[in-house]
Structure 1
Amino acid sequence: MRIEVSTANSINGSEALTSQIKGLIQHELTNLEEHITRIEVHVSDANADKSGPDDMKCSLEARLKGQQPIVVTDTATTIEQATKGAAGKMKSSLERTLGRQSDRR
């Protein structure tokens, strides 16, 4: 499973941040990685220089083998919280999708 991380201009996309995001996603989706070819992550700050609740946004797009991409988004106060929330939503969505496929067989 390849994880690609991009950030909005208002967020410092340092190597440390990228590594942290990849680690969070890898941890959450480790049991599903055999089905995933790629995860695209985009992190942005809705309010840019202003602070406010739930202004960090994390969008994940998962590419499954032979399937349409699945996209989820989560917002939170910090990048870490938004990433964890989006990864949890992605895990649920992928489990539902893969469960439906196995039910058809």
Structure 2
Amino acid sequence: MLVQINTDKNIEGSSRFNDFFTEEINNTLERFDAIVTRVEVHISDENGSKPGTNDKKCVIEARVEKKQPLVVTAFADTTEKVFFAALEKIERALDATLEKIKEH
């Protein structure tokens, strides 16, 4: 599974940042390796440099073989919180997709 992390200009995307999030995705979604070919993460700060609550946004797109991509969005007040909220959502969505595949 290929993992790609993208950030906007307001979120610092260092290599440590990318490595940590990539490892978390691989650990959390490893049971879906057979059906997921690629995971793209987009993290942004909706307010830029202005303060605000729940202004961090994370969109995770999982490319599933022979299916439409699954996309989830989460909002939170920190980069870590928003990432883990979105990761939990994509895991649930993949669970549901895997169940549908098994039924057929």
Settle same-fold status: TM greater than 0.5.
Answer: yes
Q: Which residue of 2 aligns with 1:66?
A: 66
TM superposition score normalised by structure 2? 0.93
Unpaired runs of 5+ residues, structure 2, are none
Q: 2:16 is matched with which residue? A: 16
Matched-pair contact (CA < 8 Å) for 1:59–1:74:
yes
User: What's the CA shift for 1:24?
Assistant: 2.1
Q: Percent identity?
A: 35
Residue pairs, 1:1-105, within 5 angstroms = 1-104=1-104
Where does structure 1 differ by over 6 angstroms across 4 or more consecutive aligned residues?
none
The alignment partner of 2:25 has SS state of helix
Distance in 2 (alpha carbons) for counterparts of 1:41 and 1:33: 17
* Uncovered stretches (5+) of structure 1, i.e. residues with no partner: none
Partners of 2:28 and 2:86 in 1: how far apart?
Answer: 10
Q: TM-score, normalised by structure 1?
A: 0.92
Cα deviation, residue 8, structure 1:
0.5
Cα RMSD of the aligned pairs, angstroms, is 1.1
Amino acid at match of 1:31: R
CA distance in 1, matches of 2:29, 2:75: 19
Counterparts of 1:89 and 1:2, CA distance in 2: 19
